[in-house]
């Protein structure tokens, strides 16, 4: 019997990296790359805030009313003051503040308000730990201090924070894992636990990408599966890691799932399909870390725009906002008629609002009812007034509805 050829581990890792890079590249081609400068698009009725190069990730710190934007080509964060730059007050939108991330291509951003910490996933393989006490819209004294960083898996994309357990979950698209960081010992003031991850969760699908956390459950969108992994966070967190090696349940969703958001009030998980141009509606009551019976049930789908990617929920107005990367728009979906318990409105056409070029991610400030959308192709953030563009009011959503 002939000997089986031996492949060096580094060669295997490189081959896997090339395969995942190819997968992400195919997704980019399918979904449309940023339009060229001067490309035709709908006239904007919403202000655009200029930020750094190729902005993607975005997150809001409600404690300081600061919006953090990850700039891919400059390796920095742009800070927007939500007090003076929102749907009702735009006089502070021209102020430019940046912060360093100690990494390359910052993508995902998440905030732990209980520890005043901003966590930033750098595609170069680290998570930056930024001190939000000294780097926010009002106090920028620490924005140029190099933050501590945690080495995670290969090509981390997005991340989410469970503030109850002080746990950060990071999706590593090439190593096919989710890193678990102990936020109790790795935050703005304590750095003793930043030298290593607490645990690593193997994900069933291919290329874990977007992450969302709700009570007792972590949902991870697997870009190439296409599925969402459902992880029991009660058995896998900063303190307890006994369940981290357990095989997660999965639920099938649309093609190239690139965004995920949770409405805790309706126990609904919304997942975008970048190639299927839709949003899957998962029932969190029957598909979570403890109960898996509903994970085998195909979720309802609601049509979104071309290249549906980033997604965010305003729970107060029960509105879901979806960034349509290839259409330069956001879809505005009525969550009151399309959720875990009510599906009557899931077949209705969504309202649409034009934004910048190649919109990627969305963040919602429920206090000011403002929607912020990163535009990778126009190096900007579009600011949408939620009072005139939500599930009930469409006067500020002048785009054509999606059938």
Give the residue with greater pLDDT, 253 vs 14. 253
Give the residue with greater pLDDT, 132 vs 8. 132
* CA gap 226, 209 in Å, rounded: 11
* Number of alpha carbons in the 13 Å side-chain half-sphere of residue 309: 28
User: What average pLDDT does this structure show over 55-60?
Assistant: 97
Is the model's pLDDT at 168 over the cut of 50?
Answer: yes
- pLDDT tens per residue, range 188-199: 999 999 999 999
* CA gap 366, 348 in Å, rounded: 24
> With the C-alpha atoms ordered 244, 219, 251, 294, is the resulting torsion angle positive or negative?
positive
* Number of alpha carbons in the 13 Å side-chain half-sphere of residue 60: 24
Let me know: does 264 contact 206? Beta carbons within 8 Å: no
- pLDDT tens per residue, range 220-265: 999 988 999 999 999 999 999 999 999 899 999 999 999 999 999 9
Is the model's pLDDT at 333 over the cut of 80?
Answer: yes
pLDDT band of 403, cuts 50, 70, 90 = low
- pLDDT tens per residue, range 342-391: 999 999 999 999 999 999 999 999 999 999 999 999 999 999 999 999 99
Is the model's pLDDT at 10 over the cut of 90?
Answer: no
Give the residue with greater pLDDT, 2 vs 277. 277
Is the model's pLDDT at 289 over the cut of 70?
Answer: yes
Strand, coil or helix: 345 = coil
Paired with 121 in beta bridges are 127
Q: What's the pTM value of the predicted model, to 2 decimals?
A: 0.91
- The pLDDT value recorded for residue 45 is 66
Is the model's pLDDT at 401 over the cut of 90?
Answer: no
- The pLDDT value recorded for residue 125 is 96
Which of 72, 57, 25 shows the shortest CA–CA distance to 256?
Answer: 25
- The pLDDT value recorded for residue 46 is 81
Is the model's pLDDT at 339 over the cut of 90?
Answer: yes
Is the model's pLDDT at 149 over the cut of 90?
Answer: yes
- Encoded tokens for 224: 């190439």
- The pLDDT value recorded for residue 402 is 59
Where b means 16+ CB within 10 Å and e means fewer, 213-246 reads bbebbbbbbbbbbbbbbbbbbebbbbeebebbee
- Contacts of 105 by beta carbon, 8 Å cutoff, 6+ apart: 72, 73, 75, 122, 123, 124
pLDDT band of 12, cuts 50, 70, 90 = very low
Exposed, middle or buried: residue 204 (CB in 10 Å: 0-12, 13-18, 19+)?
Answer: middle
Complete edge-to-edge strand list for the sheet that includes strand 227-232:
208-214, 217-222, 227-232, 249-252
- The pLDDT value recorded for residue 5 is 36
Average pLDDT along the chain: 90
Provide, rounded to the nearest whole percent, the portion of the chain with pLDDT above 70: 88
- Contacts of 216 by beta carbon, 8 Å cutoff, 6+ apart: 232, 233, 234, 288, 289, 290
Is the model's pLDDT at 43 over the cut of 70?
Answer: no
CATH class of 8-40+261-280+307-403: mainly beta
- The pLDDT value recorded for residue 204 is 73
DSSP 154-191: SSEEEEEEETTTTEEEEEETTTTEEEEEETTSSSSS--
pLDDT band of 400, cuts 50, 70, 90 = low
Is the model's pLDDT at 16 over the cut of 70?
Answer: no
- The pLDDT value recorded for residue 239 is 97
- pLDDT tens per residue, range 64-111: 999 999 999 999 999 999 999 999 999 999 888 999 998 899 999 999
């Amino acid at each position: 019997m002939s000997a089986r050829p031996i492949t060096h581990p580094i060669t295997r890792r490189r081959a896997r990296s090339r395969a995942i890079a190819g997968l992400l590249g195919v997704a980019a081609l399918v979904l449309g790359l940023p339009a060229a400068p001067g490309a035709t698009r709908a006239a904007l009725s919403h202000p655009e805030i200029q930020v750094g190069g190729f902005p993607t990730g975005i997150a809001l710190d409600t404690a300081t009313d600061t919006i953090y934007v990850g700039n891919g080509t400059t390796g920095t964060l742009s800070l927007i003051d939500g007090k003076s730059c929102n749907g009702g007050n735009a006089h502070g939108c021209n102020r430019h503040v940046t912060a360093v991330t100690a990494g390359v291509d910052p993508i995902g951003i998440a905030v732990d308000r209980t520890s005043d910490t901003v966590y930033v996933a750098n595609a170069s393989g680290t998570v930056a730990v930024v001190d939000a006490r000294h780097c926010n819209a009002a106090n920028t004294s620490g924005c140029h201090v190099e933050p501590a960083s945690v080495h995670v898996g290969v090509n981390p994309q997005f991340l989410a924070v469970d503030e109850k357990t002080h746990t950060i979950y990071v999706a590593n698209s090439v190593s096919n894992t989710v890193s678990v960081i102990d936020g109790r010992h790795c935050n703005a003031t304590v750095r003793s636990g930043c030298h290593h991850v607490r645990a690593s969760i193997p994900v069933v699908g291919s290329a874990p990408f977007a992450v969302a956390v709700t009570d007792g459950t972590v949902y991870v969108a697997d870009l190439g599966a296409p599925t969402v992994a459902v992880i029991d966070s009660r058995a896998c967190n900063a303190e307890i890691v006994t369940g981290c090696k357990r095989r997660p349940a999965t639920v099938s969703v649309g093609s190239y799932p690139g965004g995920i958001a949770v409405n805790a009030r309706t126990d609904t998980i919304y997942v975008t399909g970048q190639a299927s141009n839709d949003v899957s509606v998962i029932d969190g009551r029957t598909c979570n870390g403890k109960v898996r019976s509903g994970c085998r049930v195909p979720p309802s789908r609601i049509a979104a725009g071309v290249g549906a990617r980033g997604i965010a929920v305003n729970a107060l107005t029960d509105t879901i906002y979806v960034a349509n990367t290839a259409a330069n728009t956001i879809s505005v979906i009525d969550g009151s008629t399309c959720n875990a318990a009510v599906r009557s409105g899931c077949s209705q056409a969504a309202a649409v609002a034009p934004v910048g070029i190649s919109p990627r991610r969305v963040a919602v400030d429920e206090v000011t009812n403002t929607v912020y959308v990163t535009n990778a192709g126009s190096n900007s953030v579009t600011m949408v007034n939620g009072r005139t563009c939500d599930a009930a009011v469409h006067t500020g959503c002048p785009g054509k509805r999606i059938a």
